[in-house]
Structure formats: structure tokens, C-alpha cells
Amino acid sequence: MSSSFNPSDRQKEIYTEGALGHQPKIPVDFKSLELQASKILSKNAFGYIATGAGQEEGIFNNQKAFSSWNIIPSIASGIQNLDTKRQILGLDLPWPMMFAPIGVLDLARPKGDLLLAKASVESQIPMIISNQASTSMEEVAKALTSQNFWFQLYFSKSKELVRNFVQRAEACGAKGIILTLDTTTLGWRQRDLNNAYLPFIRGLGIAQYTSDPVFKELLKDVNLQTQKSAGNIFQKLRLLHELLKNYPGSYFENLKSKEPIKAVRKFIEIYSRPELNWDDIQWLKEISNIPVLLKGILHPNDALQAIKLGIDGIVISNHGGRQIDRVISSLDALVEIKKVVPKDYPLILDSGIRTGTDIFMALALGAKTVLLGRPYVYALAINGSKGVLEITKNILAEFEITMKLAGCPNIESITEEKLVRK
Ligand SMILES: Cc1cc2nc3c(=O)[nH]c(=O)nc-3n(C[C@H](O)[C@H](O)[C@H](O)COP(=O)(O)O)c2cc1C
């Protein structure tokens, strides 16, 4: 492990630096972090990252759920050294945390996926490459060198394309596939709707598609003549300019080939499969040679169905409140799902992780590990891969301190007895 990434030293580091006149670049609390990011990002970019669905009560529900539990400390537990390691589906995690799959990281910073990969290598915390990344999975995998990662998949209308994404992910070294199931249609996101902004239309976040031979083949039947779009000529030219700029390859080659316009049209036509059902999921499991996990499960019956199909793990997630307004929180869902699944079944908690205490609570309630989402995106916006390392260190430092004060020398000792309902 890189010696510079040591959360245990973080508190001392901050106070020592402070004595020398340096303030932390990344605000330690989430509210200030989000505020700082909002000041440096464009309105469209910040809106896309921060937005929830509808009145955003899903985001609030996640926070409220964490607040409904308290931790019971344990004194004089004689802990000298902590063991924060965890294993999940063959992955060795130095801490029970991974980076959530986040699409269009270029909105936070150009080459965002590669900057995250750099932070992943330095911290040894695995990332999950998004289906909607702005850099192809092969390029990100290369930047990750030997660092383990998973790939997150959306099930598109073309099964051939899905198969190829899976095969590419396996070929470039992914150790697991997470199929995200809660986005068969895009949530009603008021900030994006007010801004009339969707990054994909501008050629952002579609690199897995544009680097795919099966997708390129599908472009052959796109007939631009028959599909006229709305808008005046200046708006169309501006959109075209943005698209040609964002699309891989040279601007003028893109202009000549018309491929970017065709690719966006095709992407919009096929990216989701609203009719997706359990047979499709079973098919995915059958064609995959690496563990398959399902993301977006909140109901115990869906968890049981996944287990019946031999699915290897579940990511309990409400997509950061981005899909349904007033959706139940992931943490509340974890409590119910934990009751029905076999004891050691891999459950991952995603949505609402902001602090080290949140991680502690999720583990106490039965999660094997958690996913960190928006906090690392804001930190990436503020200070690139260094920002990601800083926020990660902060969160894990608080996690370690909580473990010590609650009398937990290792991950296994973080159990429900450490918590009490408010
Ligand atoms: C800007 C943004 C883009 C996202 N893109 C994806 C994605 O491509 N695939 C996916 O499965 N989830 C995606 N998510 C959801 C995250 O994986 C995760 O579920 C969510 O961020 C958790 O909520 P939190 O960040 O509030 O903790 C995205 C979330 C955000 C904020």
C-alpha cells in the first residue's frame, strides 16, 4: 500500500498543517464540500451531480435513516491496532469501501475516470467503472494497472451489445459485473429539467458505446435524413460544435464522418430496456464468467429472487435519490433485506454515505462494504485525484476513530449491538 495514503495519520496531519498556516483543500463536512463544488462547477454540471428525483426527498431520506440510529461506545477496550480489511467476492479491500460507479465524471473534471483510477491505485480502494463513463473501460483498466475493479452495466436494448460489454469487461480484467436495475427509465430530475440539460445528448458519457465494435455496427442503420430534430439553426450548430468537441477523435474527422450525431441518436434509442425482466438477468448470469451483482434492490422479495437465480451479491441502493422521489432509504432497506438473506450473503450499502460513522452504521446493520458516491465527485471537482484521496482519507479516518471509540478492533466486531434506534 502506498505509504502516503494513511487515514490513521489524517487528523494529526490536518492539525499540524494548520499550525503551519495551511487549511485543508477539501472541506471535511459534506455541506461545505457540496457548497464549494457548486461554486466551481457550471450550473449544468453541478445540477447533474447534485440533483435528486422530484423534490429530492429520496436524498433526504437517506440522511434521515442514518440519523435514526445512535452508536453505543465501549470504553477501555484495550485496542492497539485496528484491522480494517474486508474480503468480498474475492476482492481484498483495505477498508470496507469502494468507489460507486458514477457516469460522466468529466463533468467534474476532464479525464475524471482516469483521475479516479489514479486515486484508486494510490489508495488501493477499488473503483467500479461506469457504463456511462467518458473514457473506455480498456483505457481505465490500463490506468489501474494491477488494481482490482468491477464494471457497472446498464442493460441496453441490444443483447449483443450487452454481451460484448461483458466480454470486454472480462477481457480487460474486471473482477465483477454490477448490473444497475433502477434506471430502466431516467428519473424526473427537476434540476436537470430546469436547466434542460442531459450530458449524453452532447456526446458526454458514452465512451463505452463509441469504443464498441457492436455499437459501431449498429450505427450503419441510422438514417440522419429521416430524423429531423427541433431547434433553430444556431442552437443546432452550437450543439453540433459541442458534440464534435466531446466525441473521441479529431474535430474535423468527426465533422466529416457524421459518426458523432449517429452515435448519440443510436445511444438514445437503445441505452435502456424498459421491458427488462428476470429472464434477462438470468441470461446475464449465464453469459458471465465473473461474479454478477444487482444494484438498485430495495425490496426483500427482489433480494430473494436474485439469490434464487444464483446472483452473487446485491447493492442495496436508491441511486442517491435520483430515480424516485420519496423512495425509501437504502439503510432502511438494508435492515429488512438482511432479515431474509442467508447470513453471509454479500450485501453492499450504497446511497447516503457521507462520513465514517455512516460506514460504521451500515456495517453494523449487515453490509459487507459500502459505496462512496457524490462526496468523491465533489472532491474530484475541487482538486482532481488529490481531492479524491483527501476526502477518502477524511472519511476513513473518522471510520477508524469510530471503530476505536466503539470498541471494535476489526470489521467483524462491528455488529448491531453497537447501535440503538433513536
Ligand atoms: C452524477 C452521478 C452519476 C451517476 N452515474 C451512475 C452510473 O453511471 N451508473 C450507476 O449504476 N449509478 C450511477 N450513479 C449512482 C451512484 O452509483 C450511487 O448509487 C449514488 O451516487 C449514491 O448516492 P450518494 O452519492 O448520494 O451516496 C450516479 C450518481 C451520480 C450522483
Q: Is the CB of 100 under 6 A from ligand 1?
A: yes
Å from CA of 308 to ligand 1 middle: 27
* Residue 243 confidence class, pLDDT cut points 50, 70, 90: confident
Judge if 249 and 297 occupy the same domain: no
CATH number at residue 91: 3.20.20.70
What pLDDT, on the 0 to 100 scale, is given for residue 227?
A: 55
pLDDT per position as a tens digit, 44-80: 999 999 999 999 999 999 999 999 999 999 999 999 9
What pLDDT, on the 0 to 100 scale, is given for residue 110?
A: 96
Q: Which three cell numbers stand for residue 422?
A: 433513536
Please identify, among 270, 298, 329, the residue that sits at the C-terminal boundary of a domain: 270
What pLDDT, on the 0 to 100 scale, is given for residue 239?
A: 78
Residue 3 lies in a domain: no
What pLDDT, on the 0 to 100 scale, is given for residue 236?
A: 74
* Residue 368 confidence class, pLDDT cut points 50, 70, 90: very high
Å from CA of 233 to ligand 1 middle: 34
Give the largest Cα separation in the chain, rounded.
Answer: 75
Pocket-testing residue among 38, 41, 61, 102, ligand 1, by greatest number of atoms within 8 A of Cβ? 102
Residue 16 lies in a domain: no
pLDDT over 70 at 3, yes or no: no
Q: Is the CB of 350 under 6 A from ligand 1?
A: yes
Å from CA of 115 to ligand 1 middle: 17
Residue 63 lies in a domain: yes
pLDDT over 70 at 274, yes or no: yes
Please identify, among 270, 292, 313, the residue that sits at the C-terminal boundary of a domain: 270
Judge if 252 and 297 occupy the same domain: no
Q: What positions carry a catalytic annotation?
A: 319
Q: Which atom of ligand 1 is nearest to the CA of 372?
A: 27
Å from CA of 351 to ligand 1 middle: 8
With cell 465527485, the residue in question is: 377
Q: Is the CB of 26 under 6 A from ligand 1?
A: no
Judge if 172 and 293 occupy the same domain: yes
Pocket-testing residue among 49, 319, 324, ligand 1, by greatest number of atoms within 8 A of Cβ? 319
* Residue 228 confidence class, pLDDT cut points 50, 70, 90: low
* Residue 392 confidence class, pLDDT cut points 50, 70, 90: very high
User: How many domains, the chain?
Assistant: 2
Task: Name the residue with the closest Cα to ligand 1, atom 23.
Answer: 320
Please give the model's pTM, rounded to 2 decimal places: 0.96
Judge if 215 and 307 occupy the same domain: no
Judge if 56 and 177 occupy the same domain: yes
Judge if 377 and 387 occupy the same domain: yes
Residue 17 lies in a domain: no
Task: Name the residue with the closest Cα to ligand 1, atom 20.
Answer: 320
Rounded to 10 deg, the angle between the 374-405 and 356-364 helix axes is 70
Å from CA of 253 to ligand 1 middle: 33
pLDDT per position as a tens digit, 194-225: 999 999 999 999 999 999 999 999 999 888 77
Judge if 188 and 214 occupy the same domain: no
Q: Which atom of ligand 1 is nearest to the CA of 48?
A: 1
Residue 12 lies in a domain: no
Judge if 206 and 164 occupy the same domain: no
Residue 4 lies in a domain: no
Q: Is the CB of 106 under 6 A from ligand 1?
A: no
pLDDT per position as a tens digit, 80-129: 999 999 999 999 999 999 999 999 999 999 999 999 999 999 999 999 99
Residue 19 lies in a domain: no
Q: Which atom of ligand 1 is nearest to the CA of 375?
A: 25
pLDDT over 90 at 246, yes or no: no
- Owning domain of residue 225: 193-270
What pLDDT, on the 0 to 100 scale, is given for residue 281?
A: 98
* Residue 248 confidence class, pLDDT cut points 50, 70, 90: confident
pLDDT over 80 at 233, yes or no: no
* Residue 256 confidence class, pLDDT cut points 50, 70, 90: confident
Q: Which atom of ligand 1 is nearest to the CA of 374?
A: 25
Judge if 94 and 202 occupy the same domain: no
- CA-nearest of 410, 409, 412, 399 to 71 is 399
pLDDT over 60 at 349, yes or no: yes
Q: Is the CB of 354 under 6 A from ligand 1?
A: no
What pLDDT, on the 0 to 100 scale, is given for residue 257?
A: 76
pLDDT over 70 at 397, yes or no: yes
Residue 20 lies in a domain: no
Q: Is the CB of 348 under 6 A from ligand 1?
A: no
Please identify, among 270, 290, 313, the residue that sits at the C-terminal boundary of a domain: 270
Å from CA of 15 to ligand 1 middle: 33
Percent of the chain predicted with pLDDT > 90: 87
pLDDT per position as a tens digit, 297-327: 999 999 999 999 999 999 999 999 999 999 9
Q: Is the CB of 319 under 6 A from ligand 1?
A: yes
Give the chain's length: 422
Q: Which atom of ligand 1 is nearest to the CA of 205?
A: 8
Beta bridge partners of 99: 127, 372
What pLDDT, on the 0 to 100 scale, is given for residue 226?
A: 60
What pLDDT, on the 0 to 100 scale, is given for residue 240?
A: 79
Judge if 353 and 296 occupy the same domain: yes
CA distances from 220 to 175, 213, 228 (A): 33, 11, 18
Judge if 146 and 84 occupy the same domain: yes
CA distances from 408 to 5, 73, 276, 335, 420 (A): 22, 9, 43, 21, 16
Å from CA of 49 to ligand 1 middle: 8
Pocket-testing residue among 105, 198, 322, ligand 1, by greatest number of atoms within 8 A of Cβ? 322
Judge if 263 and 311 occupy the same domain: no
What pLDDT, on the 0 to 100 scale, is given for residue 229?
A: 61
* Residue 250 confidence class, pLDDT cut points 50, 70, 90: confident
Å from CA of 404 to ligand 1 middle: 30
